[in-house]
Structure 1
Amino acid sequence: MLHTYSKKDFHTICHTLAAKDADLKGIMERWGLPPMWTRPAIFQSLVLTILEQQVSLASAYAAFSKLKTKIGFITPKKIMALSDEDLKACYFSRQKMVYVRALAEAVISKKVNLKKINLATDEEIRTTLKQIKGIGDWTVDVYLMHALQRADLFPLGDIALVNSLKHIKQLHAAITREEMLAIAEGWRPYRTVASMLLWHDYIKRKNITVLG
């Protein structure tokens, strides 16, 4: 059975985590409940996630919006029909052009069937998607968390998440990955929701506008 969360139990899980961890409780006391950030489990969402790699949310969403304005609903065939100049005009870097085309080719060739893998386990999905150039653990984690509502992910490749964890737990700068994972163990089996609480704190403290 796949371990997921939904709008019906999201707030209950937040309160359960707050009861177990005073620092997570403090986030809710300061800022209220976090949004349940979701995306449809489709190709278009993976394109957005690729655009979000190692850039600001604002920069990623600007490129995503420009692309949608140009071609409408984003499909693999529409991506493959675009020239380098077209994608550059949508603020794509050379690297992101390669990655998004690799994803489009994988879907068109049926190397990846998104409807099928959406029913697979977290690790099966990770193995399948990481075969595509430009998709690593962070991209897979975001897709699992936001598009498939898988409940127990903790993406340490996410700088905002790590910085928020260090802030609320007052951790030393040189803390290891293993030490951070050990802290997150206490949040199983809902580390995804704990991650959303940490992002919520980071976004509020930094006064970041989340556009999509």
Structure 2
Amino acid sequence: MFTTFSSDNFHKICDALASNDKDLTSVIQTYGYPPMWTRPNTFESLVHIILEQQVSLASALAALNKLRERLGEITPEGVLVLSDEELKACYFSRQKTVYVRYLAESIVNGTVHLPAIEKLSNDDVRATLNQLKGVGNWTIDVYLMFVLQRVDVFPIGDLAAVNALKHLKNLPVETTREELLEIAVNWQPYRTVATMLLWHYYLSRRAKK
């Protein structure tokens, strides 16, 4: 059993999931394997995830790229010298400005040490990052999945994953959160990779339309 995924085992995990779930088999047969979405364990990656909260991926990336243009390298120290107006010019909302500044301060003052987080359990990662302003369960789920590459996370707060699951399994729109989590239990211990299959299904269908 794998605890993290990598290019060495990603397709094996997809195949293991598909062998127990005909709907995931159909995703692979129709659209191929999903991309192995990963990001480095950096301040920039966490800023990117915060920017993705409740907006389109394209909007978040536009803001990140604008910040990169402004700073060159995105660092906590660089962010802290920017004024509200300068961050607004990088498409940061007032809320996101507060969140990203708080994260930058937490890293600079040593409250958060990203390399040390890699050694923590999922629960301890959640407890550590939950202390940050504006960092809730969805942000932590994505961090665990993309950055730490932990294999068994299902982001119940992610609309794309939830809608893909409902569509793929022909579930009623009113299917409850508890019922969805129960379905996801069947994908243990590889719920992260199952979610990536759901995202792949969601994005591939949208691209076809």
- Name the TM-score, length of structure 2 as normaliser: 0.97
Amino acid in the other structure paired with 2:61 = Y
Query: Would the aligned equivalents of 1:2 and 1:121 in 2 still touch at CA under 8 Å?
Result: no
Q: For residues 172 and 50 of structure 1, what CA distance do their matches in structure 2 show?
A: 31
How far did 1:2 drift? 8.6
Aligned to 2:29: 29
Cα shift readout 1:133-185 (whole Å, capped 9, x = no counterpart): 00000000001100110000000100000000000011111111111011011
Aligned to 2:188: 188
Does 1:52 pair with 2:55? no
Query: Would the aligned equivalents of 2:68 and 2:74 in 1 still touch at CA under 8 Å?
Result: yes
Gaps of 5+ in 2: none
Percent identity over the alignment?
57
Q: For residues 124 and 112 of structure 1, what CA distance do their matches in structure 2 show?
A: 12
Aligned to 1:66: 66
Does 1:130 pair with 2:130? yes
Describe the shift of the 1:69–1:163 C-alpha distance in structure 2 as closer, same or farther (beyond 3 A). same
Describe the shift of the 1:100–1:2 C-alpha distance in structure 2 as closer, same or farther (beyond 3 A). farther
Q: For residues 165 and 8 of structure 1, what CA distance do their matches in structure 2 show?
A: 26
Matches within 5 A, 1:111-122: 111-122=111-122
Q: For residues 149 and 114 of structure 2, what CA distance do their matches in structure 1 show?
A: 15
Q: For residues 21 and 161 of structure 2, what CA distance do their matches in structure 1 show?
A: 17
Aligned to 1:148: 148
Amino acid in the other structure paired with 1:66 = K
Aligned to 2:176: 176
Q: For residues 11 and 70 of structure 2, what CA distance do their matches in structure 1 show?
A: 37
Q: For residues 137 and 2 of structure 1, what CA distance do their matches in structure 2 show?
A: 23
Report the 3-state secondary structure (helix = DSSP H, G, I; strand = E; otherwise coil) of the residue aligned with 1:33. Answer: coil
Amino acid in the other structure paired with 1:206 = R
Amino acid in the other structure paired with 2:81 = A
Q: For residues 2 and 168 of structure 1, what CA distance do their matches in structure 2 show?
A: 26
How far did 1:30 drift? 1.1
Task: Give the alignment's Cα RMSD to 1 decimal.
Answer: 1.3
Aligned to 1:13: 13
Aligned to 2:41: 41
Aligned to 1:100: 100
Aligned to 1:202: 202
Q: How many residues align?
A: 208
How far did 1:206 drift? 1.1
Amino acid in the other structure paired with 1:205 = R
Aligned to 1:165: 165
Amino acid in the other structure paired with 2:182 = A
Cα shift readout 1:16-62 (whole Å, capped 9, x = no counterpart): 11111000011111110000000001111000000000000000000
Q: Which runs of 4+ in 1 moved over 6 A?
A: none
